[in-house]
């Protein structure tokens, strides 16, 4: 099975403060509620198509990648840190409104982008009618019983990313690498190839392919997760927030599962988890994730 991303009805670029640019792609129903949909660290928004394809009949879906990811051209210096990503998100929100006009809008974010959206909403401003956060790598404050497990988790990811191979002779080569990994075993059929296509770009020297998100940029984000001091209560946001974690009880699941469950309870969130999933729950069980998405948007008059 091979996923084919439909041709966007509209594309436009959002210029960022340092000359970087974000390519926005509009899909779906232009008369629907606007959804901004993006990805986690080292990934790309197109790779989440098994999830967001189910939103196209009803919603006006704006898909985009964060700087140095996906369809964007990487920049030097990379300015690849959470404070910059939060400012970039503000640019995306404002430019989308300027280009397409104001309308009801929800944000759907995973992992790194979910943490960025949290930081953006609390430190820059609330710009949403609703916000959905899929398995953000929430690091509790030092002294919390779960701090150490998240510290170990992020440090392991940092070391893994630093050692990550960056160049491939073909898309198939990375597809096979994904297929051999235990961590990707629960992805839906066709996702390994879609992910490889989404995160690679043709190498500028014409020699094969390279990761759009350089390993050192990916590692920097994992490292910074421990410095954000971001463990907010749901009431600190300016509107409705849904927190959806991976399965906190699943054998071999990442530390993000228990961390999100703890934040959900301690911060009085509208919290759910998807049974039997790891960190990439939207491409492991897209149907269950869509069900939760529609329930939440419907609850707030957006679906």
- Residue written as token pair 């990994």: 181
> Which tens digits make up the pLDDT trace of 9-44?
999 999 999 999 999 999 999 999 999 999 999 999
d(C-alpha 47, C-alpha 51), whole Å: 9
Confidence band for 199, pLDDT divided at 50, 70 and 90: very high
- What number of CA atoms fall less than 13 Å from residue 108's CA on the CB side? 26
> Which tens digits make up the pLDDT trace of 180-192?
998 899 999 999 9
- Helix 215-224 / helix 147-162 crossing angle, nearest 10 deg: 170
Average pLDDT for residues 248-270, to the nearest whole number?
95
- The DSSP string of 163-196 is T---EESSHHHHHHHHHH-GGGTTSPTTHHHHHH
Check whether 250 has a pLDDT greater than 90.
no
d(C-alpha 56, C-alpha 7), whole Å: 12
Report the SS3 class of residue 3.
Answer: coil
Check whether 72 has a pLDDT greater than 90.
yes
pLDDT for the residue 46: 98
Check whether 251 has a pLDDT greater than 90.
no
pLDDT for the residue 289: 98
pLDDT for the residue 1: 80
Asked whether 243 and 263 are in contact (CB, 8 A), the reply is yes
Confidence band for 252, pLDDT divided at 50, 70 and 90: confident
User: Environment class of residue 144 by beta-carbon count within 10 Å: exposed (0-12), middle (13-18) or buried (19+)?
Assistant: middle
Confidence band for 81, pLDDT divided at 50, 70 and 90: very high
Tokens encoding 4: 């084919």
Nearest to 279 by CA among 194, 148, 181: 181
pLDDT for the residue 181: 92
d(C-alpha 279, C-alpha 270), whole Å: 19
* Higher local confidence (pLDDT), 182 or 61: 61
Average pLDDT for residues 109-119, to the nearest whole number?
98
pLDDT, averaged across the chain:
97
Report the SS3 class of residue 72.
Answer: coil
């Amino acid at each position: 099975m091979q996923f084919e991303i439909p041709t966007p009805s509209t594309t436009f670029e959002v210029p960022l403060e340092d000359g970087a640019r974000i390519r926005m792609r509009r899909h779906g129903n232009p008369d629907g509620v606007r959804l901004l949909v993006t990805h986690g660290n080292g990934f790309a928004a197109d790779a989440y198509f098994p999830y967001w394809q189910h939103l196209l009949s009803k919603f006006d879906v704006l898909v985009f990648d964060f700087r140095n990811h996906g369809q964007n051209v990487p920049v030097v210096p990379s300015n690849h840190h959470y404070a910059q990503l939060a400012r970039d998100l503000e640019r995306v929100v404002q430019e989308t409104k300027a280009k397409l006009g104001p309308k009801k809008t929800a944000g759907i974010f995973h992992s790194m982008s979910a943490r960025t959206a949290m930081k953006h909403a609390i430190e820059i401003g609330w710009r949403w009618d609703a916000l959905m956060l899929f398995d953000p790598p929430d690091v509790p404050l030092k002294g919390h019983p779960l701090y150490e497990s998240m510290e170990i988790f992020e440090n392991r990811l940092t070391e893994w990313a630093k050692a990550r191979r960056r160049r491939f002779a073909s898309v198939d080569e990375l597809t096979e690498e994904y297929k051999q990994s235990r961590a990707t075993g629960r992805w839906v059929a066709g996702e390994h190839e879609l992910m490889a296509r989404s995160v690679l770009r043709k190498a500028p020297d014409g020699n094969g392919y390279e990761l759009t998100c350089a390993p050192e940029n990916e590692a920097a984000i994992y490292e910074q997760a421990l410095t954000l001091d971001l463990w907010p209560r749901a009431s600190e946001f300016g509107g409705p927030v849904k927190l959806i974690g991976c399965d906190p009880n699943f054998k071999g699941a990442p530390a993000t599962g228990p961390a999100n469950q703890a934040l959900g309870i301690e911060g009085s969130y509208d919290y759910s988890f998807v049974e039997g999933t790891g960190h990439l729950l939207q491409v492991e069980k897209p149907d269950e994730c869509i069900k939760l998405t529609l329930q939440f948007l419907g609850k707030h008059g957006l679906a």
